Structure 1
Amino acid sequence: MAEIQFDNVDSILEEFKDLEDPRSPINRRHPLGDLIVISIVAVIAGADGPTAIGTWAENNREWLEKQLTLPNGIPSHDTFDRLLRALKPTAFQSCFETWIVRVLPTDDSSDPKQIAIDGKALRRSHDRSKGLGPLFLVSAWAVDAGVSLGQLATEEKTNEITAIPELIDQIEIEGSVVTIDAAGCQTAIADQIIKAKGNYVLALKGNQGNLHQAVQEYVIEHMENDFADIPARKYFERLKGHGRVDEITYYQMPVPPHLANKEKWSRLKTIGVAIRISESAGKTTSDVRYYICSVPMGVKKFAANVRGHWAIENTLHWCLDVTFREDENRVRDRTSANNLAWLKRFSLSLLEQQNDKYSIAMRRRVAGWNINYLAQVLGIPTV
């Protein structure tokens, strides 16, 4: 992983110097930069909302006074609450761009990087009194680096189709393979990825009825004689994690010349299938997923892309739910929930970069217990 290095907290404050302060100038007692830095640091150290951020700050007053100006002392939790409600999420996230670039590892590999895009509901963010369901977030995750590249909030899961193109516009995808679940399997999205000089691996389901059926029938037809008549490739792997064992068989083949609606998909080159048999708690389940791809033949790379997309579930979403308790968060205000969700994703990205024996959950605990370890996560040299 890349080493994150700042000279001091002032270097971090530079990331936010152009962020517009949304607060009223009347009775504005705390610098915006101080509030944001405290919020970032507190969330890394275990805070899950404005009250916890304020409590963490009060209990780490001595360290914060050495790092920040704090002209009027430690801000209250109400101050953090008002700020998170007022900050524009897109502007707030854009301030992290150079920090994210600094976090991304640099290597000389010629293999394209993978960006997984997927949605997740904040289950307890609903507000029945206002007729609002759970807030739904679409996230972009750099699989190789373990870094969150961006997110967009929508009111409904059905809006994921419109959120994905907006998110793609916000991130750099040139030279990357973008993987998306079936909700994002749209001709316009495929075309957008190709125009941005990326490639795609898109999951197929019933939302692309004719194409899904045609791919399914083609695969099943040739599976009967073990793909003897076409240049298909096969790869098998066995994975363990979170108390589950997965046995997965992948097949990849060139796109059939007469595949239905083939011409609608930009640079469609290959199709694939992943057959997964999972065993967990004594129960066995199976799952078959079909894919259309602009990537060329290479079944091991295809398998890595499929597996890498599952990582957004196993690494990002699972960790946010278990370690950051995201599904338990009952923040009702949409803007505040969006900003807190981004702080958690960015904190997870920083924790992912640490090269030590700890799990992500333990790294977060240690960051809360040990101020020097917390400084290390932030990239601030310790004395």
Structure 2
Amino acid sequence: MSVSHAVVPGIESPALEGGTEHGRGADTGPAQGLLAMLAQVSDPRDPRGVRHSLTAVLAVAVITTLSGAKNHREMGDHADDLPQDLLWLAGARFCPSHGRYRAPSGSTLYRVLTSLDAAELDLRVGTWLREFAAGSPAEWVVALDGKVLRGAWDENGMLTLFSAMLHTHGTMLGQVAVPAGTNEITQVEPLLAPMDLRGALITADAAHTQDDTARHIVEDKQADYLLTIKGNRPNLLKAAIAARTALITSGPAHHVTQQHARGRINTWSTWTCGATAVDGLDLPHAAQLGVIRRDVTEATGQPLRKEFAIVVTSRAADRLDAAGIDRHTRGHWGVENLEHRCRDTVWDEDDRQAYLGSGPQVLATLRNLALSLLRRSGVTEITRTVQKIGRNPMRALHLIAT
């Protein structure tokens, strides 16, 4: 039985790399792009009795995740329906007796994915995605944010993953698991360690408004920070509130923008001042304080509520004005929608119960990779696109052939 293949520019048939049509080369996968990165992941299995290469298993896992698979069983179900062209591209095993490429089963996917070194997979994926991220690090705005996987837990509690991602498109730059008995604050240095962030602006919530974190970002990573001030730093907050009152009463906001949505008007007003003008703003390398006020009104003008956010940044006003402080502060808030909420909406991540080995973190990494591949290609309707790929997996071809 003959098997036809799609012609993918720049990618050779994995079967031809070994020098035979259906020989050992069929198990190696194309030696470039996404599959080359997956081929670098360490295989924890005893090579005796291995039927599916790790590259093929991971490639099928990525394709089925793009197709909407939420767990190993659904991955196996989707894999059973993958076209021969995609299995060939993934480097799947060729079965001479059936004259077809064979996908790994759901049980194989389960055994392999739960035995992987999740930290290594995160490192490989993050490094590869950073290479393809738009612009240079000096142009990046990077959000640090944690996510608790509510369905993944063991005797130490629920698994928390701490990630760095670009504000633009939510491209994942790296992810680490937060060890039991610690918190996200302790993982800033391990998360950022493999990244070249020189010149980048790093945003984080109030938990990370710490002296050591500020020093690490500026002195070690040669980047800048934009951090929120809240009650976990009472002296900073006291100084910031005093400055907020003085700024708001001193004159008009330095930047104002409006959004109209669902019959309401959101008005964002931003004031800024130099850090030296704020008594008690004792955070290393602080250069500016920003105050953002959100006024929510009915379309008729009836006020509904008023909210404030106070931020501090190491970036000087000539490089980050009031409009930039407003944009990047609210951009950080949007990261949850870009990444975490999307993983819950598309793949029901918080509802997926997984307790064994590295499986939960590995699945989260595959979802991060899938989202980054989709957004990198310009997709904005993630749920709809995943559903379309589920109906026709060949739509994933241009995403994985990179």
Pairing 1:19–2:41 present: yes
How far, CA to CA, are the matches of 2:170 and 2:237 in structure 1? Answer: 31
How far, CA to CA, are the matches of 1:268 and 1:377 in structure 2? Answer: 42
Q: Which runs of 5+ in 2 are unaligned?
A: 1-8, 13-28, 96-101
How far, CA to CA, are the matches of 2:381 and 2:289 in structure 1? Answer: 36
Q: What SS does structure 2 have at the residue aligned with 1:30? A: coil
- Determine the structure 2 residue equivalent to 1:123: 150
Deviation at 1:309, TM superposition (A): 0.7
* From 180, 190, 200, the counterpart of 2:225: 200
- Determine the structure 1 residue equivalent to 2:194: 170
Letter in 2 for 1:121: V
How far, CA to CA, are the matches of 1:44 and 1:288 in structure 2? Answer: 39
- Determine the structure 2 residue equivalent to 1:151: 175
C-alpha contact (below 8 Å) 2:275/2:281 kept by paired residues: no
Deviation at 1:214, TM superposition (A): 0.8
Letter in 2 for 1:20: S
C-alpha contact (below 8 Å) 1:269/1:293 kept by paired residues: yes
C-alpha contact (below 8 Å) 2:83/2:394 kept by paired residues: no
Q: How does 1:368-383 map to 2 (within 5 A)?
A: 368-379=390-401
CA separation of 1:143 and 1:373: change in aligned 2, threshold 3 A: same
How far, CA to CA, are the matches of 1:321 and 1:278 in structure 2? Answer: 28
How far, CA to CA, are the matches of 1:309 and 1:242 in structure 2? Answer: 22
Letter in 1 for 2:275: V
Deviation at 1:378, TM superposition (A): 2.0
Pairing 1:66–2:88 present: yes
C-alpha contact (below 8 Å) 1:104/1:145 kept by paired residues: no
RMSD (CA atoms): 2.8
> TM-score w.r.t. structure 1 length?
0.85
Pairing 1:340–2:344 present: no
Q: Which runs of 5+ in 1 are unaligned?
A: 228-232
Deviation at 1:61, TM superposition (A): 5.2
Letter in 2 for 1:303: D
How far, CA to CA, are the matches of 2:263 and 2:128 in structure 1? Answer: 35
Q: What SS does structure 2 have at the residue aligned with 1:275? A: strand
* From 251, 269, 275, the counterpart of 2:293: 275
Deviation at 1:278, TM superposition (A): 5.1
Describe the superposition over 1:256-304 as per-residue Cα deviations: whole angstroms up to 9, x where unpaired: 3462252xx3321101122224579x99554322111101121111112
Deviation at 1:98, TM superposition (A): 5.2
Pairing 1:260–2:280 present: yes
> TM-score w.r.t. structure 2 length?
0.81
CA separation of 1:57 and 1:189: change in aligned 2, threshold 3 A: same
Deviation at 1:377, TM superposition (A): 2.0
How far, CA to CA, are the matches of 2:259 and 2:149 in structure 1? Answer: 28
Deviation at 1:246, TM superposition (A): 3.7
Q: What SS does structure 2 have at the residue aligned with 1:170? A: coil
C-alpha contact (below 8 Å) 2:86/2:397 kept by paired residues: no
Q: What SS does structure 2 have at the residue aligned with 1:256? A: helix
C-alpha contact (below 8 Å) 1:146/1:353 kept by paired residues: no
Describe the superposition over 1:169-219 as per-residue Cα deviations: whole angstroms up to 9, x where unpaired: 132211110000011111111111112110000111111110111111121
Pairing 1:138–2:159 present: no
% of aligned pairs identical?
24
Letter in 2 for 1:272: G
- Determine the structure 2 residue equivalent to 1:209: 234
CA separation of 1:189 and 1:126: change in aligned 2, threshold 3 A: same
Q: What SS does structure 1 have at the residue aligned with 2:324? A: helix
C-alpha contact (below 8 Å) 1:15/1:98 kept by paired residues: no
